[in-house]
Amino acid sequence: MVGRGELGFVMAGEAYANKLTSKLVYAITVWALLVATLISPYAFRKALAEDPRERKGEAKGEAKGVFEPEARAHRDAQSAEMVAVAVGDHPPSHGPAAARGGGGCA
């Protein structure tokens, strides 16, 4: 059993014991928790095994956007530059600070 289901069972049991829910609502809640607890590992496994590009028809060499190697390299370079600017290693190479001569990183 997983942690997300255990708390639901405890809460349903406490609600029924304190007469906050009827027997029918308690039974429905327990069955819903059982179904979710038993099905979720298989559903997650299937969801993680799917390639999101397959649904869009991009898996066969038609990659677009963030999946393109050039786009990924550009994004990684931008991220590295933002980190370097944030820690003060060098001035920014683009944007308003670069137009003023790159100031602001000292």
Closest CA to 94 of 40, 45, 57, 82: 82
Q: 103, 91 in Cβ contact below 8 A? A: yes
Closest CA to 26 of 2, 8, 43: 8
Rounded to an integer, what is the distance from CA 37 to the centroid of its chain?
A: 20
Report the alpha-carbon distance of residue 24 to residue 49 in Å, rounded.
37
74-87 pLDDT tens trace: 677 777 777 666 66
49-78 pLDDT tens trace: 877 666 665 555 554 555 566 666 767 777
Select the more confidently predicted residue: 95 or 9: 9
* Domain boundary assignment for the chain: 3-50, 63-99
E strand segments, the chain: none
pLDDT > 90? residue 44: no
pLDDT for 22 equals 95
